[in-house]
Structure 1
């Protein structure tokens, strides 16, 4: 396959508007089979979701120790339940790479039809992805990417660079009329490539706004506790700034606590991921949080659709090709007060 965008990794809702760019067309799968009376591929309507060949999908994800990761598991389960022809074999999930490899090998030995894998560590699990592919089991690599495209048939995931880019543009547009505007950044774990990608996108966007200067950056670790502690440090160090971009809505809960405790309301805040709590705060519009940039866990529902299509030898409804795509990168939409109702049902807890 053509290598997915390099901005393809994520730490470690049912289809809705959050995943429209990647998912709406996946719900109808177009058969590869043809006969003399069948219209050309680009003339065929998308098929509906009528039951087809039974497919057993093995799903292996990391431990759900974070709101977004828990939403990944929920999306996969709920999507599979919508199909009477899908049986989902789901592992317990683990952040221990050796344990997750063992879980995936068990699924391979069970001879599942298709595998969906969100690896705890893409590099470390590449070999087991290769093992599945060589055993004739197509792999849908979810978000954290394996080291080689030979280890998966299809990759689907989020756009970390795009998150930063869209957060930066949103803030830039809000502050473009303000002279000498200052912004700060509450990042995620700095040892993760995704954090660097989000920061790079943010910095690149701000280059379009010469009136804005980033004056501080602090790395947290995607937890409520770290968000609160690191935000408190930023607030102590920066007596005056105009906007904050926080990489993750889970750590944003803690950041908002620190902001409230400090009695600060003199700036706007943009979050990241798409938590229900963030959507509710944006809708209430009675605090600093004005928007969040999506990293939609609906990708797990889309992965189940793709796996089902692979197991049934189908393509994707809405596309002319007979095969599913080699890669799908989700769009990092900005959700603010103007469109939050559209996305509310996709928020994760």
Structure 2
């Protein structure tokens, strides 16, 4: 807990910093370094400066965990905080109701937590409560869904939706570049979400590098197993001949694979998205159409806790020239296939 002081106000202007280990391990657990299949999970790797410091309280507010990825995000935050004996984590009950989540965050502000980590159900709708925290002298680490203004957070940590599509497109493109008149289809997520549009844009931009490849169909699903199965069945019925599929989300991919199996199709390759354990296991087994998945790592929540701790303790940066933590940190969307899946198995979410 804290009393609002001039030094705390200066903290929000950039006097605090995080360890490079926090920046370069939690969020980039999807690096491409060598591994022997026993690589330690991101949450089990300490930050560079993990020596106990001043005791602080971090408030964590996320949406309802109604999706495998969101549940993994919440778990990563809790597990990372448990690594630090000097951190107390106050977690709100997740909600997709913006008014309820605003109320939960205001409760944390009133309790005078030292730092806030917020994954808003709706970034635009929750911007005002981020501003309220910052004005109260509580630095905010904005996780994934960004607030409308940088004034509402000290640091943003999130994934690269455009990069997901870009890397999926290049992976497919390199495998089809020598095939004349190659055809691909896309199973997207919710079309009313900006992240879905970004993933599609990245995919389309990547395919521009391969003039022999044409996207012949796109179907939007809803990030659920049921929608993935239904929409994939429609795609398979409408498109009797194609060479590759990019599916935006591994949860809906479970349903998509059911539809593929029911149709008896195995004449194309499939690339998933996010990094579910079931996808990793299928890739490792090497049976079926799923050959790779593009990460949207839930370990970003562990990095957010690292950054929040550093902000609360005013620790310096190790390994970076700047005195302050960055204002934003974008996680890389690595492609995981049979060649490197063992390195990432421990990060897969259920």
TM exceeding 0.5: yes
- Map 1:75-90; keep pairs closer than 5 Å: 75-90=76-91
Who is 2:59 aligned against?
58
The 8 Å contact of residues 245 and 270 in structure 1, kept in 2 or not, is answered as yes
Who is 2:227 aligned against?
226
Who is 1:293 aligned against?
294
Who is 1:201 aligned against?
202
Q: Distance in 2 between matches of 1:254 and 1:65?
A: 16
Q: Distance in 1 between matches of 2:105 and 2:317?
A: 26
Kindly state the Cα deviation for residue 322 of structure 1 after the two structures are TM-superposed: 1.9
SS in 2 for 1:18: coil
The 8 Å contact of residues 27 and 331 in structure 2, kept in 1 or not, is answered as no
Who is 1:36 aligned against?
none
Kindly tell me the number of residue pairs found equivalent between the two proteins.
317
Kindly state the Cα deviation for residue 20 of structure 1 after the two structures are TM-superposed: 4.8
- Map 1:27-106; keep pairs closer than 5 Å: 28=47, 48-106=49-107
Change in 2 beyond 3 A, CA 1:315/1:326:
farther
Who is 2:35 aligned against?
none
- Map 1:128-147; keep pairs closer than 5 Å: 128-147=129-148
Q: Distance in 2 between matches of 1:211 and 1:153?
A: 45
Q: Distance in 2 between matches of 1:174 and 1:209?
A: 11
Q: Distance in 2 between matches of 1:324 and 1:106?
A: 27
Who is 1:18 aligned against?
29
Kindly state the Cα deviation for residue 103 of structure 1 after the two structures are TM-superposed: 0.3
- Map 1:319-338; keep pairs closer than 5 Å: 319-338=320-339
Kindly state the Cα deviation for residue 323 of structure 1 after the two structures are TM-superposed: 1.4
Kindly state the Cα deviation for residue 48 of structure 1 after the two structures are TM-superposed: 3.2
CA offsets per residue over residues 235-282 of structure 1, 9 Å max, x none?
000000000000000000000000000000000000000000000000
Q: Distance in 2 between matches of 1:18 and 1:209?
A: 30
Q: Distance in 2 between matches of 1:60 and 1:343?
A: 27
CA offsets per residue over residues 77-125 of structure 1, 9 Å max, x none?
0000000000000001000000000000000000000000000000000
Who is 1:215 aligned against?
216
Q: Distance in 1 between matches of 2:156 and 2:316?
A: 15
Kindly state the Cα deviation for residue 18 of structure 1 after the two structures are TM-superposed: 2.8
Cα RMSD, aligned residues only? 1.7
- Map 1:246-261; keep pairs closer than 5 Å: 246-261=247-262
Q: Distance in 2 between matches of 1:16 and 1:143?
A: 11
Which has the higher mean CA deviation after the structures are superposed, 310-319 or 279-288?
Answer: 310-319
- Map 1:123-202; keep pairs closer than 5 Å: 123-202=124-203
The 8 Å contact of residues 17 and 343 in structure 1, kept in 2 or not, is answered as no
Q: Distance in 2 between matches of 1:15 and 1:200?
A: 27
- Map 1:297-316; keep pairs closer than 5 Å: 297-316=298-317
Change in 2 beyond 3 A, CA 1:172/1:225:
same
Q: Give the TM-score, by structure 1 length.
A: 0.88
Kindly state the Cα deviation for residue 27 of structure 1 after the two structures are TM-superposed: 5.0
Kindly state the Cα deviation for residue 314 of structure 1 after the two structures are TM-superposed: 1.6
Q: Distance in 2 between matches of 1:20 and 1:342?
A: 9
Q: Distance in 2 between matches of 1:162 and 1:65?
A: 24
Q: Distance in 2 between matches of 1:16 and 1:324?
A: 14
Kindly state the Cα deviation for residue 317 of structure 1 after the two structures are TM-superposed: 2.4
Q: Distance in 2 between matches of 1:17 and 1:59?
A: 21
Structure 1, unpaired ranges of 5+: 2-13, 29-46
Q: Give the TM-score, by structure 2 length.
A: 0.88
Kindly state the Cα deviation for residue 320 of structure 1 after the two structures are TM-superposed: 2.3
SS in 1 for 2:84: coil
Q: Distance in 2 between matches of 1:160 and 1:50?
A: 34
Kindly state the Cα deviation for residue 16 of structure 1 after the two structures are TM-superposed: 8.3
Change in 2 beyond 3 A, CA 1:163/1:16:
closer
